[in-house]
Amino acid sequence: MSEKVYETIENLGVVPVVSINDADRSEGLAQALIEGGIPCVEITFRTAAAEESIRRINKAFPDMLIGAGTVLTIEQCEAAIKAGASFIVSPGLDPEIVKWCQAHDVPVIPGVCTASEVQKAVSLGLEVLKFFPAEASGGVRMVNDLCGPFPKVKFMCTGGINLLNLADYAASTKVISVGGSWMAKTDMIEKQQWKEITALCQQSLCSVQGFKFIHFGINTPCFDDACDAASKFWVFGMKPDVRSASTFMDSSIEIMHSMFKGKCGHVGFFCFDVERSLSYLSSRGFTVDSDSIKLDEKGRIKVAYLKQEIAGFAIHLVRA
Ligand code: 3PG
């Protein structure tokens, strides 16, 4: 149960944290998040409508991953799970809540922000923790420092995160997701600003990938033609770097020495986490060409091509 929940959260990379005052808004909110590509929500027990909102979202969208947030008591754990929540998040580390969740096979992500709290959580058998309040507690630098003594721990970071700083966190291999209220603030939910919420989810989901253009690859039929093209790009001041299968011009153009992938060539993008980006791209109609996958020394995907081309260009992702 826990593994599946953590995997879903990590593949998404973004978790909206919401406080709903009126449970009548819950289906509209869930629909807006799903349309924004995020079938996951953490509903905080900061309002009286939390339990009813979880129940209604679970009924209307049974495939949505619902977490209960700001859980402070065992009674809230019971109510949240009964209503359909699949995981429990608390702002701090309460061993009683952790033990209750473990005894009931419920994934629990307690909040921590110091080495002592991480150590306590690890001694309770946990490896996924909430780093909260993230920005006020030292940001991603603190996350990476905490992972020195606790290399197995990974964090869901929340507190002061927004569209401007989320990529700093998402770039860390120690961060399974970023979360926060910026995608669906309480007043936006009250005003039923579903389109705006959907757009913020889409933007956040794209930003969390850390996509960055690397190079264009141009196909040529043979080495001689590649050299001819290289000499012409040289005129524009680009320096050639001849390798076995291609010649790079200033690293931004790769002239292939053969008709390689893509009708016209290929485009390369860096991303923070290829597995996560493939999951994101699959929800946008792209599929991975599994024969193209290359792994790094840790067994993670280093390079992968997509099956679909864009305007005659194959697309590949590279772990940054
Ligand atoms: C949480 O409970 O995770 C935080 O309140 C979210 O913090 P934010 O409102 O700063 O995003």
Transcribe the chain into DSSP letters: -HHHHHHHHHHH-EEEEE--S-GGGHHHHHHHHHHTT--EEEEETTSTTHHHHHHHHHHH-TTSEEEEES--SHHHHHHHHHHT-SEEEESS--HHHHHHHHHTT--EEEEE-SHHHHHHHHHTT--EEEETTTTTTTHHHHHHHHTTT-TT-EEEEESS--TTTHHHHHTSTTEEEEEESTTS-HHHHHTT-HHHHHHHHHHHHHHTTT-EEEEEEE--SSHHHHHHHHHHHHTTTPPEEE-SSEEEETTTEEEESS--SSSSEEEEEEES-HHHHHHHHHTTT--EEEEEEEE-TTSSEEEEEEEEEETTEEEEEEE-
pLDDT at 1 over 80: no
Q: Is 42 a catalytic residue?
A: yes
Mutate to test the pocket of ligand 1, among 158, 182, 185, 186 (most ligand atoms within 8 A of CB): 158
Locus of tokens 């320096």 = 239
pLDDT at 273 over 90: yes
Phi and psi angles of residue 27, each rounded to the nearest 5 degrees, phi first: -65, -40
Distances (CA, A) of 312 to 89, 216, 217: 46, 12, 11
Mean pLDDT, rounded, of the chain: 97
Q: Percent of the chain beyond pLDDT 70?
A: 100
Query: Looking at 10, 42, 51, 135, which residue is catalytic?
Result: 42
pLDDT in tens, 276-300: 999 999 999 999 999 999 999 999 9
Q: Is 59 a catalytic residue?
A: no
Superfamily for the 2-207 domain: Aldolase class I (3.20.20.70)
pLDDT in tens, 36-57: 999 999 999 999 999 999 999 9
Cα separation, 174 vs 154, in Å, equals 5
pLDDT in tens, 147-158: 999 999 999 999
pLDDT in tens, 237-261: 999 999 999 999 998 999 999 999 9
Model-level pTM?
0.94
180 touches ligand 1 (CB under 6 Å): yes
Query: Of all atoms in ligand 1, which is nearest to the CA of residue 160?
Result: 10
Cα separation, 133 vs 62, in Å, equals 30
Fold of the 212-319 domain: 2,3-Dihydroxybiphenyl 1,2-Dioxygenase; domain 1 (3.10.180)
Q: Give yes or no for a contact between 199 and 191, defined as CB atoms under 8 angstroms apart.
A: no
Residue 2's pLDDT is 81
Residue 13's pLDDT is 98
Residues of the chain with CATH 3.20.20.70: 2-207
Residues of the chain with CATH 3.10.180.10: 212-319
pLDDT in tens, 195-225: 999 999 999 999 999 999 999 999 999 999 9
Residue 28's pLDDT is 98
Residue with CA at minimum distance from ligand 1 atom 11: 180
Q: Name which of 230, 300, 214, 313 is nearest 264 in CA terms.
A: 313
Residue with CA at minimum distance from ligand 1 atom 4: 159
pLDDT at 97 over 80: yes
Residue 229's pLDDT is 96
Residue 301's pLDDT is 97
67 touches ligand 1 (CB under 6 Å): no
